[in-house]
Structure formats: C-alpha cells, structure tokens
Amino acid sequence: MNDIFIILTASLVAINASILGVFLVLRKMSMVGDAISHSVLPGIVVAYFLSGDRTSPLLLIGAALTGVLTSFLINWLSKRAKIQGDASIGITYTFLFAIGMIMIAGGVQGDVDIDMECVLYGDIALINLDKVIVDGNLYLGPRAFFIEGFATIIIALVVRIGFKGFKLLSFNQDFGWSLGLNMNKWHYMMMGLVSLVTVVSFEVVGAILVVGFLIIPAATAQLITLKLKRMMLLASLLGVLAVLIGYYFAVYLNVSITGAMVSVSGLIFFVVLGLKQIKKKSNSSEFEALSTEL
C-alpha cells in the first residue's frame, strides 16, 4: 500500500512538472525553472513562520509569490539593469536561496522544523508518515498525495483554459503584444504555476531533482514529436514511466528513490537521442516521414 502511494505521488509530480516543463523547454527557459525551484525557499520559510503549520495553504501562496518575484527579478536584472541573462539567473536564485538558508538556521525556531536536507533532496520514502485520516481511523493516503493531486487539477485547468495564451507566449511573444494582449500576464501566470509545482514537490523530491522532472521528460518528448499537445502527453507518460522503473530499481538496489527516478529519466533521454541519431544517419527521409506521422 505504501509502495503504491509513493508511486502515485511521484507520478503526479512527474505529470505536473512535465506539462509545464514542455513550455519551459520550448521557451528555452529551463534554467529559470531551476532558479525558481531554489528561490521559493524564503517564501516557504516565511509562510511556515507566519502560520506555524506545514499544512497551511499560506505556504503555497507564499512560495508561489516568491517564484513570481524570482522571475520578475531575473527579468528586471537582464532587461533593465543590463546584466547578462545567465548571470541574472545565477544572482537571483542563489541570493534568495541563501536568505532562505539563514532563515532556517537562525530566524525560525521552535515548533517549526524544516531541515536543509529535506529541502534539497526531499524524502519520498517518508511521505507515508504524514497521513490523511478521517473519522479517526479511515486512512485515505499520505498528505503529499492529495496536495499533488490538487496541484494537478489546478495546472490542468489553467493550461487547458489558457492554452492559446501559453502557445502564443512560447512561440511569438511580439505577435501577442501586437494583438493587444498583455504577454507579461501570461508569463507571470506560467511562472506562478512553475512555482506551485516546485513548492508542492519539494518535500517529495527536493529542490534539486524537481528540475529533472521538469526538464528531462519534456526534452525527451521534443525529440520524438512535432506536435505541442502530443508533446505534453508524451512528456507526462515518459515522466510516469521513469517513476515506475526508477522506483523498482531503487527498491532492488536499495538506493535513493528520487535519485533512481531521475537517473532513469536521463537514461531514457539518452536512449531516445541515440535512436534518433541512428535513424537520422541510416535513413533521413524515412525519419522525417515518421516525425510527420507522430
């Protein structure tokens, strides 16, 4: 039973992350995902401090706001202050992450406990300790599972309703502006969703490896298909596949579960890349025909 909930929860992380990862990869903003996943830390700590509770919805809001602030700061540094793009990212997220570290070590004490280990690596094996129990004894599953499920619903709804807006943002922002649409609104909405994904996932997979869930399945799907909706579906499936294989791999070898999942995801990427290269070499026209089909 515990196994199933770990797999289900990780699968939801994979699905949430893959859907948004597709847009990040297409916008060549993978590192912004990395930045957001780290810099939401002070938001989380402040929200912990204010609510004194790990289950507070304030946590999600606080972190989502920090994520949006991060992307705003990165934009501002690179566009207004004319700092190089990659330097802006590096400055912003290490700065915010470090502030979060100090807050954890010094400022926030007492009944609130967060440790750096958990922030960085998460601990999916322990999600079952935090149970949702109703009526005193009916066990519904780990809390993390329901939080992920809630995030999945939000992401699916927003992406579904705003699909045209996100597509325009990712393909041709200038054209969107020329239609009189405020593309900044769409950008920050997307960044808010990315923050949401990283926040709800950090307990489970940690701030570092969530980037693997965001980027690797999306990049793999991009190698296989030329259609946007199919790319999102495929990325989600690849993410779940990596979760499944990774979990049993980890149990078999008795190693880190999330580590194994992301490793498998990376392996799948290289296998697909290799197959694509071989196919390209052996028969380029045939591959093109195949891509058109896909």
Partner 1 sequence: MKNQVSVEVHNLTVSYDGGPVLWDIDFELPQGQIIGIIGPNGSGKTTLLKSIMGLVEPSSGFVKIYDKNLDDVRERVAYVPQRESVDWDFPASVFDVVMMGRYRKKNLLKRTNKADVEIVNQSIEKVGLTEFKNRQISQLSGGQQQRVFIARALAQKADLYLMDEPFVGVDAATESSILALLQEMKADGKTVLIIHHDLQTVSEYFDYLVLLNTRLIAKGNLQEVLTKENLSNAYGGQLTLLSKVVDLIKKTEFPIREKDVDL
Footprint on this chain of partner 1 (rule: CB under 8 A) = 26, 28, 82, 161-162, 164-165, 167-168, 170-172, 174-181, 222, 225-228, 230-231, 288, 291-292
Least distance from C-beta 235 to partner 1, angstroms?
Answer: 11
Distance in angstroms (rounded) separating the CA atoms of residues 14 and 231? 14
Output 131 or 230, the one with its CB closest to partner 1. Answer: 230
Output 50 or 226, the one with its CB closest to partner 1. Answer: 226
* Dihedral in degrees, nearest 10, Cα atoms 102, 108, 114, 117: 20
Least distance from C-beta 73 to partner 1, angstroms?
Answer: 21
Least distance from C-beta 292 to partner 1, angstroms?
Answer: 7
The residues near 164 (Cβ < 8 Å, ≥ 6 apart) are: none
Coil vs helix vs strand at 140? strand
Least distance from C-beta 17 to partner 1, angstroms?
Answer: 19
* Structure tokens, 211: 């980037």
Coil vs helix vs strand at 134? strand
Distance in angstroms (rounded) separating the CA atoms of residues 96 and 250? 33
Secondary structure in 3-state letters for 202-234: HHHHHHHHHHHHHHHHHHHHHHHCCCHHHHHHH
Least distance from C-beta 277 to partner 1, angstroms?
Answer: 17
Output 55 or 172, the one with its CB closest to partner 1. Answer: 172
The string over 214-231, giving b where at least 16 C-beta atoms fall within 10 Å of a residue's C-beta and e elsewhere, is bbbbbbbbbebbeebeeb
Output 235 or 268, the one with its CB closest to partner 1. Answer: 235
Handedness of CA 27, 28, 33, 39 (dihedral sign): negative
Output 227 or 280, the one with its CB closest to partner 1. Answer: 227
Output 175 or 270, the one with its CB closest to partner 1. Answer: 175
Least distance from C-beta 85 to partner 1, angstroms?
Answer: 16
Least distance from C-beta 64 to partner 1, angstroms?
Answer: 21
Output 116 or 161, the one with its CB closest to partner 1. Answer: 161
Report which secondary-structure segment, H or E, holds 141.
strand 138-142
CA-based end-to-end distance of the chain: 37
